[in-house]
Amino acid sequence: MKALLVNADDFGRHPLINEAVLRAVKHKGLLSASLMAGEPYFEEAVAIAKSHPSLGVGVHLTLVNGRPVLPPQEIPSLVTPDGTFYPHHNAFIKKYLTLKIRKEDVVKELSAQIDKVIKAGITPTHVDSHQHIHMLPGIFPKVLNLAQKNKINKIRISGCGFANPFIPWPGFGDLIGKCALQCFSMIDTLKAQKAGFLYPKHFVGQVAGGAITADFMQNLLKNMHEDTVEVMLHPGMNNKVLSLSSGWDHDYEAEFLAVTCEKVHECMQKHGIKLINFGDL
């Protein structure tokens, strides 16, 4: 079977992201989203999820570029003086490699995030993470343990080896990051398999910039084999507002259009591709 799992990241972060997810679900362009527990529009996202049961919702574990669920004083190694997480994965990884991130803090905060989602009435279909932090050596096994404790057995494996063209050219720094992520994915796949986790066989996402477009989606669908492919998206309704809010110059609108475009839907039907969420794995 050819199965396509389109997942919207950053659910709950901004009303324009929540709106894009809602409209894409109504348009039957996606059936999966990852919820950020510490973000200000968490409750709005939960309400959308509850009113649209076809939408599978996972936990978008967050340790960078966001807000913690726990009070900052309980997880001091994870936060900056203003009480928020470090601004991006590079800053976190630098602290992590110099042993300034306490793994006890990581476990406490991620556990609190999963707990908040479950207490809100959501049964998580999977776990993944903001900026792929869950893939890091030393953190991935702890994420597996936390997921198992909460009866979650699906996870994202963020690889870069399948249908991920370097367009636009990401620069050497991001290229190195992509290569490292691919190495982590190979190691983490074995760990996930051993622990009995399920995951899409292939992962697609413009990890270092760029956006998934309707043309990209059509080309992907035309060349799909008998496998399950996850496409990671960050859809939104207004690039200017969202870029100012997030500090990330991303084409949110293009990714929204990529999953609501009629040509993409027609291509899925023509090639016999089923749209799924993590719960269907």
Domain span at 204: 2-67+110-280
Q: Is residue 92 part of a domain?
A: no
Beta strands in the chain (DSSP E): 2-11, 32-35, 56-61, 127-129, 202-204, 228-233, 273-276
Q: Is residue 162 part of a domain?
A: yes
210 sits in the region (left: phi over 0; alpha: psi -120 to 50; else beta) called left
Q: Is residue 75 part of a domain?
A: no
On the question of pLDDT at 126 being above 50, the answer is yes
The whole-number pLDDT of residue 30 equals 96
Distance of CA 7 to the CA centre of its chain: 7
Chain segment 8-47, per-residue pLDDT in tens? 999 999 999 999 999 999 999 999 999 999 999 999 999 9
CATH number at residue 245: 3.20.20.370
Q: Is residue 177 part of a domain?
A: yes
Residue 226, classified by CB atoms within 10 Å of its CB into exposed (0-12), middle (13-18) or buried (19+), is exposed
The whole-number pLDDT of residue 179 equals 78
Q: How many CB atoms lie within 10 A of CB 60?
A: 29
Q: Is residue 84 part of a domain?
A: no
Q: How much is the average pLDDT of 268-274?
A: 95
On the question of pLDDT at 100 being above 90, the answer is yes
Task: With beta carbons less than 8 A apart as the criterion, state whether 238 and 252 touch.
Answer: yes
CA atoms within 13 A on the CB side of 227: 15
Q: Is residue 72 part of a domain?
A: no
Q: Is residue 90 part of a domain?
A: no
Chain segment 154-163, per-residue pLDDT in tens? 999 998 655 5
Q: Is residue 102 part of a domain?
A: no
Mean of all residue pLDDT scores within the chain:
92
State the pLDDT confidence band at 166, using cuts at 50, 70 and 90.
very low
- Domain count within the chain: 1
Nearest Cα to 221, choosing from 278, 273, 166?
A: 273
